[in-house]
Structure 1
């Protein structure tokens, strides 16, 4: 049987609360696996523990209790840190914090250079990764002149150039406008489907979560729901109770059903809604 890409085994994480010095439990006995090539979305309100959990996957944080394994490598052993970060790359919320060079292609080359990759191999990787994220024509541009969505795609290319097996996107579309979000989401879907790369996406945009193979919902440091997008989002009242939205079309189906319209409750997209309304005629 193929081994898991990520295994979180009874993970808890406590941090010191700066206000009063007390310990606060941010992640509370969490268990989950991520299969190779899977597209997993993690949802939760602010403070639910989702970003804290993500930072455990590439050893930015180490569990207070329990274990995290990335392709069977234990993240809590300091000797493994670089190995883990090569396997699990991370793209953060603000692309400006991740871009280090003054020319796009130099920025993408930065990671492989630090890994000691030979220069002709770096050249090939930079070109390939910029093409993957549709930014090759901007390779000689200055990153600060790019749009937010373009910068984020350069940041993704920089992570891809290090050849990870898994990329964690920690609210990577949060600072972008709708068109920037669409660009980045289409890039994320591409690297997952075309290149079979494992993707973990932390987001609070429900429309992005529709694309996932599986969704985990966190609240107060625990996993409280897990399933396919259709399964999770059809539980509208449960989602609302924990302060989360559902995709607009799911919400519309919910309201129509409550008004007595005989409509499927698990509609996710506009196309599905159109088909269902046509069926009702």
Structure 2
């Protein structure tokens, strides 16, 4: 039987500053499980509840109602918070907010130092994790001199150095340019496939979700679609009706089909599109 990394049961969440009389929940009765080693993407427009959901997954928020378990630990029990955050690390939107030191390797060492890891082990972890995110050659550099994509990779190394089983990326590419986004996304995919770390990617860039094992689409605090990328993105009309796009190649296939071209509508990448067009009679 597959092991759960995260299990959410009938989770409801209401922000305290919301009007007491308001019945509006930011998360409204969400149940889901994230399997160990899975790459899960959570999509949704602004205000859909996806980031609120992410913050429940490492005990930054506690449910108003329902339960969240991280490797069996109840997030609403304060005694578990420290353990949960070691198991489920988080990388946020703005890398500048996560960098605490003036030298790259010191920044990566910060988390393990706080965990009380012995200095010799810290040194090994820092070097290993910087190599994993392809930033080892910058280990002596000042983080503020790095590009946005490089800073975000240092932030990822800092989380990796704490050896979590799961990393949650909360719109971690939103502030980056296309090349920085590509760098970070490649790093995210690699830590999932090569090192077996569970990845939860919260994003509003559809292309980023193409390689996920599974996609969850949220709207108005609820899960409204769930499945592999092909089945989610081929529902172009439905995605557009909730204010979301689909990957460019999927959209192109959809438009071609509408105009009488006999082509598959579940195409996700340029290579797939080229192959499909070459096979047209």
TM-score normalized by the length of structure 1: 0.98
Match of 2:186 in 1: 186
1:59 aligns with 2:69: no
SS in 2 for 1:16: coil
Match of 2:13 in 1: 13
Match of 2:107 in 1: 107
Match of 1:96 in 2: 96
Q: Deviations over 1:18-52 (max 9, x none)?
A: 6x565541000001101100000000000000000
TM-score normalized by the length of structure 2: 0.98
Contact 1:113/1:122 (8 A) holds in 2: yes
* Residue ranges of structure 2 left out of the alignment (5+ in a row): none
Match of 2:39 in 1: 39
SS in 2 for 1:5: strand
CA distance in 2, matches of 1:280, 1:12: 49
CA distance in 2, matches of 1:91, 1:6: 17
Match of 2:276 in 1: 276
CA distance in 1, matches of 2:145, 2:177: 16
CA distance in 2, matches of 1:209, 1:194: 18
CA distance in 1, matches of 2:57, 2:173: 19
Contact 1:16/1:22 (8 A) holds in 2: no
Q: Deviations over 1:153-183 (max 9, x none)?
A: 0000000000000000000000000000000
Residues 65 and 268 of structure 1, relative CA distance in 2, 3 Å threshold: same
1:267 aligns with 2:267: yes
SS in 2 for 1:112: helix
Offset, 1:212 = 0.2
Contact 1:28/1:221 (8 A) holds in 2: yes
* Residue ranges of structure 1 left out of the alignment (5+ in a row): none
Match of 2:77 in 1: 77
Alignment of 1:106-125 (within 5 A): 106-125=106-125
Offset, 1:4 = 0.3
SS in 2 for 1:25: coil
Match of 1:226 in 2: 226
Offset, 1:271 = 0.4
Q: Which runs of 4+ in 1 moved over 6 A?
A: none
Match of 1:156 in 2: 156
| Alpha-carbon RMSD | 0.9
Residues 249 and 84 of structure 1, relative CA distance in 2, 3 Å threshold: same
CA distance in 2, matches of 1:107, 1:211: 30
CA distance in 2, matches of 1:266, 1:22: 44
